Structure 1
Amino acid sequence: MKALFIGGTGTISSAITKQLVEQGCELYLLNRGNRNAALPTGVNLIQADINDEAHVAELIENLAFDVVADFIAFEPAQLERDYRLFKDKTKQFMFISSASAYQTPLSDYRITEGTPLSNPYWQYSRNKIACEDYLMKQYREHGFPITIVRPSHTYDERSIPLGVHGGRGSWQVARRMLANKPVIIHGDGTSLWTMTHNSDFAKGFIGLMGNIHAIGESVHITSDESVTWNQIYEIIADALGVKLNAVHVSSEFLAACSKVDYRGGLLGDKANSVVFDNAKLKRLVPEFVATTRLDQGIKQTVAYILAHPEHQTEDKEFDAWCDKVIQALDAAARSITE
């Protein structure tokens, strides 16, 4: 198989890149080269900015692919560019959408690919929906061979997956745990969530590549494991070897008092219970099974981050904000009970 990835070094795509190279795929990555140092041997690099359409067109003029996948498209205009570049150069075009595009709030917590797409809380999700609409139009009217993939919360060894963190990543929450400081959990922590290790996501994605039954289809790829946010934070604390000191805070309150977009990330996504039905993926890729249990994956991630200080990015602004939120709640409680 000959494939081209636009991107290829992110949380989701890096695991796919690794597994494809191990399987002998002729893989090309088109990116700006900022994160290519850790790529496995055997990857063919096309260094360019995908937004420079004319330059990219020159670079791929004599190339054609079995699969082209765009991991970094977020708006319809970017897919319009991809269509112009690749409409005659690939047998399958794969777009990475988002499970946050599904109906929010849900009318049924069990999500299938037939669940409506609607998210009034998050522009990011609405943009992904618009991208899907554009691609389906090209498939219906021009036969453009598209496959839409919807990941949910996918993680790797470089970042601890969380619900509430600052703009500089999740390490500061781990620091708070290690210092026995209170850690904010949105809502009451009992809503169900699904996290998927990127190595498991890669297995499903690769199974869709070159799969004639996936053309014209939308498919989500997630683990079958459902956990509550309380369990998630307990798993992280356990991996760090500390006792969790949790404070539960309304998602609406967090969205109202933060500069970070918690309205989209919480109210439009993580505040809602979600359970994914992966039956469609398993019909298309019968061998797919997610094998990394969350507690196992989190232990691997925590161990990696503790051993690699470059991934321990402090966020003093977020740390101070957490203290303010908790102090405000304590003060409000005292004012009512006094």
Structure 2
Amino acid sequence: MKVLFIGGTGTISSGITEQLLEKGCELYLLNRGTRNDTLPAGVNIIKADINDEDHVAKLIEPMEFDVVADFIAFEPAQLERDYRLFKGKTKQFMFISSASAYQTPLSDYRITEGTPLSNPYWEYSRNKIACEDYLVKQYREHGFPMTIVRPSHTYDERSIPLGVHGSKGSWQVAKRILEGKAVIIHGDGTSLWTMTHNRDFAKGFIGLMGNIHAIGESVHITSDESVTWNQIYEIIADVLGVKLNAVHVSSEFLAACSTEDYRGGLLGDKANSVVFDNSKLKRLVPEFVATTRLDQGIKQTIEYILAHPEYQIEDNEFDIWCDKVIHALDVALMTVTG
């Protein structure tokens, strides 16, 4: 199979890249080369900026692919560009959308591919919905062989999966846990969430590649495991070998007092209970099963980060903000109980 990935080095795509190479796939990555030093041997690199459409068109002019997948498209204009570049050049075009595009708030916490797409809280999700609409139109009117894939919260060994963190990543939260500081959990921590290791996501994604039954379809790929946010943070603290000091803060309050996009990331996503029905994926890819239990995956991630200081990126601004939020709650409590 001859495959082209636009991107190919991110959290979701890196796991797929590794597994495809193990299977002997002829894999090309089209990217700017900023993270290619971590790629395994055997990848063919097309170094270019996908936004330079004329240049890319010249580079791929003599080439055709069995599968093209765009991991870094977020707006319809980028899909319009992809359509111009790859129509007639691939048997299957795969777009990575987002499970955050599903109806928010949900009318039923059990999510299938038939769940409506609507998210008034997050522009990111609305843009993904618009991208899907464009591809569906091209499929219906021109036979463009597209497949839409919707990941939910997917993680790898480079970042601890969390609900509330700063712009520099998750390490500062782990550091607060290690130091015994109070750690913010949104809501009361009892809402259900699903996290999927990128190794498991890759198995589902590869099963959809070259799959004639996936053409024209939308499919989400997630673990079947559901956990609460309280359980997630307890797992992290347990792996770190310390006691968790949790403070629960409403998602609305966090969104109102932070410059981070918690309105989108929390109110439009993580604050809602979600349980995914993967029946459609399992019909299309009968061998699919997510085998990385969350406590096992988080243990592997934390061990990796502790062994690689380059991923221990401190975020003093986020740390100060956490202390301010927690202090404000303490003051409010004293005022009320007074």
TM range (shorter): over 0.9
Corresponding residue number in structure 2 for 1:11: 11
Corresponding residue number in structure 2 for 1:139: 139
Q: Quick one: distance in 1 between partners of 2:119 and 2:179? A: 37
Q: What is the deviation of 1:181?
A: 0.1
1:37-52 equivalences in 2 (<5 Å): 37-52=37-52
Corresponding residue number in structure 2 for 1:151: 151
* Same amino acid, percent of matched pairs: 87
Corresponding residue number in structure 2 for 1:86: 86
Q: Quick one: distance in 1 between partners of 2:261 and 2:90? A: 37
Question: Secondary structure of the equivalent of 1:114?
Answer: coil
Q: Quick one: distance in 1 between partners of 2:53 and 2:88? A: 15
Q: What is the deviation of 1:195?
A: 0.1
TM-score, normalised on structure 2? 1.00
Q: Quick one: distance in 2 between partners of 1:175 and 1:157? A: 17
Q: Quick one: distance in 1 between partners of 2:21 and 2:62? A: 22
Q: Which amino acid aligns with 2:256?
A: A
Q: What is the deviation of 1:250?
A: 0.2
Q: Which amino acid aligns with 1:11?
A: T
1:8-87 equivalences in 2 (<5 Å): 8-87=8-87
Q: Which amino acid aligns with 2:84?
A: R
Q: Quick one: distance in 1 between partners of 2:18 and 2:69? A: 15
Question: Secondary structure of the equivalent of 1:301?
Answer: helix
Q: Which amino acid aligns with 2:87?
A: K
Question: Secondary structure of the equivalent of 1:14?
Answer: helix
Question: Secondary structure of the equivalent of 1:37?
Answer: helix
Task: Kindly provide the CA deviation profile for residues 40-77 of structure 1, in whole angstroms up to 9, marking residues without a partner as x.
Answer: 11110000000000000000000000000000000000
Corresponding residue number in structure 1 for 2:317: 317
Q: Quick one: distance in 2 between partners of 1:180 and 1:337? A: 26
Which sections of structure 1, spanning at least 5 residues, go unmatched?
A: none
Which sections of structure 2, spanning at least 5 residues, go unmatched?
A: none
1:1-338 equivalences in 2 (<5 Å): 1-338=1-338
Task: Kindly provide the CA deviation profile for residues 110-169 of structure 1, in whole angstroms up to 9, marking residues without a partner as x.
Answer: 000000000000000000000000000000000000000000000000000000000110
Q: Quick one: distance in 2 between partners of 1:305 and 1:39? A: 18
Q: Quick one: distance in 2 between partners of 1:336 and 1:91? A: 64
Question: Secondary structure of the equivalent of 1:134?
Answer: helix
Superposition RMSD in Å = 0.3
Question: Secondary structure of the equivalent of 2:36?
Answer: coil
Question: Secondary structure of the equivalent of 1:196?
Answer: strand
Q: Quick one: distance in 2 between partners of 1:243 and 1:337? A: 28
TM-score, normalised on structure 1? 1.00
Q: Which amino acid aligns with 1:73?
A: A
Q: Quick one: distance in 1 between partners of 2:160 and 2:28? A: 29
Q: Which amino acid aligns with 1:326?
A: I
Q: Which amino acid aligns with 1:81?
A: R
Q: What is the deviation of 1:236?
A: 0.5
Aligned length: 338
